[in-house]
A and B are shown apart, each in its own frame.
Chain A
Amino acid sequence: MTEQRVSYTLDSSLETIDSAEEKATRIATELGFGDDEVMQISMAVREGAVNAVLHGNAYAPDKKVTLAFERIGEELVITIRDQGKGMDLSKIPNPLAPENLLKTSGRGIFLMRSFMDVVEIRPSSTGTELKLIKRVHGSTEGGKEASQ
């Protein structure tokens, strides 16, 4: 990523999910993240894009997903916005709870939180805004727990 910030406006389609993942992989690689971190970042972006396309915009052709990558100091800040109705985080079950282990969905946000240093999910003026932050390895001691 030669510029400090790039953003994309994408359709609510399966192709957008693959495209978002590919962009994340390319940009994270360009920024010098290691292979494992690139995989983590690309997977977190993929899961965020899935949420935006499926659960946010529900594939609506008139709704868009915006995806932005920004290098701020020693952090890669990724923002994904949809135009959906928003989500109630309190209703998302813990996928590690024994009663939920065999559920076939509900692991996306958990994986994002596992792979990124910061995950913030909040309502925006038009839908839901997801912010994912990954620090360049070793730039800051410790990790910051995800917040809403």
Chain B
Amino acid sequence: MTMKVSTRQVDGVTIVDCSGRITLGEGSVILRDSVRDLLSKGNKKIVLNLADVNYIDSSGIGELVSAFTTTKNQGGELKLLNLTKKVNDLLQITKLYTVFDVKDDEATAVKSFK
């Protein structure tokens, strides 16, 4: 399944609804371009909703890290929302769960921005 993203605004926070696979190639590129596009337009409070992301590989993990650091370096914040068990397990194994701010409720995620 190809990676798809759509964005929406909730109280000044951009929610990026992702679905499909974040893997080497198209999936990673789509995510990268989406985050860069948001940042270039001044949207610096970003939540990646990964509820419908059913697969992610090491390149996809790298892309999440890149999105996180790129946003942070531009003075923004990027958080993760609604991890599937597979993605959650991968972030635990790679010790990235402690790096990302992970939320399991959209309203809480939106309110958590400064």
Contact yes or no, A107 B94, CB < 8 A: yes
- Cβ contacts B50-67/A at 8 Å (1 or 0 each): 000000011101110110
Q: Note all chain A residues with C-beta closer than 8 A to B59.
A: 50, 105
CB pair B99–A47 under 8 Å, yes or no, is no
- Report the tally of A-B residue pairs with Cβ distances under 8 A: 45
Asked if B24 and A17 make an inter-chain contact with CB atoms under 8 angstroms apart, the answer reads yes
User: What is the CA–CA distance of A46 and B21 in the complex, to the nearest angstrom?
Assistant: 13
- B10 CB-CB contact with A under 8 Å: no
A90 within 8 Å of B (CB atoms)? no
Compute how far the CA of A105 lies from the CA of B25 in the bound complex, rounded to whole angstroms: 14
Q: Among residues 60 to 113 in chain A, which have CB atoms less than 8 Å away from a CB atom of chain B?
A: 95-96, 101-105, 107-108, 110-111
Q: Is the interface of A mostly helix, strand, loop or mixed?
A: helix
CB of A58 closer than 8 Å to a CB of B: no
* Distance in angstroms between the alpha carbons of A47 and B61 in the assembled complex: 12
- Give bound CA distance, A17 to B24, whole Å: 9
Contact residues in A for B24 (Cβ distance below 8 Å) = 14, 17, 50, 54
Binding site for A on B (CB under 8 A): 23-25, 57-59, 61-63, 65-66, 68-69, 86, 90, 93-96, 99
Chain A interfacial positions (CB closer than 8 Å to B): 14, 17, 39, 43, 46-47, 50, 54, 95-96, 101-105, 107-108, 110-111, 114
